[in-house]
């Protein structure tokens, strides 16, 4: 689930966790974008770290998914981020920039402006490690800069979500980052009280910024 500082409490849409890159065809077990649209889905996650790790979803595939989502009027929620080896070797900026350029490089600025981008520090998901507010802010600023290279001034229209083990204990510091517009919430969304607390924190941070 996504929590955005820019959304009001009553602004709720339904999003999917995945889609197929082809509009139609014999792909048993997959869900097409037209199928999602037919049931009222408004957005879809693409490039999630688990899709990359377990299903070989690389950015060439993600680029195709984004194109078909935009064609049918659904908002892509594009995920990017580095693993622990890439973080510790100092290659994390290079890795994220490469992901973005391959997945988003074929889009027009107006198309990029219609995306949501989620930063997933893979090394902080389910590992017990957590990105500091400073690390999150640094990477979000870097992603905003990369978006500017791709889309010019329209980069400022793209909400940037943090998606690395965000929970009530660390959300305030992370959400206070200048380019952190909310969170892509995984495990913390499984418990209603925890997720509601994150929504409340996002709203409080918005009021004070």
Mean pLDDT of 45-61: 95
In the Cβ-directed half-sphere of 156, how many Cα atoms lie within 13 Å?
A: 3
Report pLDDT for 3. 66
User: What pLDDT score was predicted for residue 5?
Assistant: 59
**Structural domains of the chain in order of their starting residue, each with its CATH number:** 2-207 (3.20.20.70)
pLDDT average, residue stretch 100-111? 98
The pLDDT value recorded for residue 21 is 98
Average pLDDT of the chain to the nearest whole number: 93
120 is catalytic: yes
If pLDDT is split at 50, 70 and 90, which confidence band does 61 have?
A: very high
Q: How far apart are CA 122 and CA 178, in angstroms?
A: 21
pLDDT at position 89: 97
Catalytic one of 4, 57, 82, 120: 120
Nearest residue to 46 (alpha-carbon basis) of 60, 65, 32: 65
Percentage of the residues of the chain whose pLDDT score is greater than 70: 95
Predicted TM-score (pTM) of the model is 0.93
Mean pLDDT of 29-42: 97
Q: Does residue 48 have an active-site annotation?
A: yes
Catalytic residue, candidates 48, 57, 86, 146 = 48
Is the pLDDT at 208 greater than 80? The verdict is no
Q: H/E/C letters for each residue in the chain?
A: CEEECCCCCCCCCCEECCCCCCCCCCCCCCCCHHHHHHCCCCEEEECCHHHHHHHCCCHHHHHHHHHHHHHCCCEEEEEECCCHHHHHCCCHHHHHHHHHHHHHCCCCHHHHCCCEEEECCHHHCCCCCCCCHHHHHHHHHHHHHHHHHHHHHHHHHCCEEECCCCCHHHHHHHHCCCCCCEEECCHHHHCHHHHHHHHHHHHHHHHCC
Q: What percent of the chain has pLDDT over 90?
A: 87
């Amino acid at each position: 689930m996504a929590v955005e500082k820019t959304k009001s409490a009553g602004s709720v849409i339904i999003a999917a966790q995945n889609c197929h890159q082809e509009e139609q065809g014999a792909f048993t077990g997959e869900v097409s974008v037209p199928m999602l649209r037919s049931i009222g889905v408004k957005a879809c996650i693409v490039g999630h770290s688990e899709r990359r790790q377990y299903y070989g979803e690389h950015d060439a595939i993600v680029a195709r998914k984004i194109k078909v989502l935009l064609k049918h009027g659904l908002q892509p929620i594009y995920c990017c981020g580095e693993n622990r080896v890439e973080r510790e070797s100092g290659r994390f900026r290079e890795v994220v920039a490469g992901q973005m350029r391959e997945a988003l490089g074929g889009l027009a600025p107006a198309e990029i402006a219609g995306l949501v981008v989620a930063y997933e520090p893979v090394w902080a998901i389910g590992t017990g490690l957590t990105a500091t507010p400073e690390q999150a802010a640094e990477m979000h600023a870097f992603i905003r800069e990369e978006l500017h290279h791709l889309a010019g001034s329209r980069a400022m229209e793209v909400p940037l979500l943090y998606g690395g083990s965000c929970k009530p204990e660390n959300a305030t510091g992370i959400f206070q980052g200048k380019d952190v517009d909310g969170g892509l919430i995984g495990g913390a969304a499984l418990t209603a009280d925890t997720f509601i607390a994150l929504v409340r924190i996002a709203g409080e941070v918005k009021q004070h910024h």
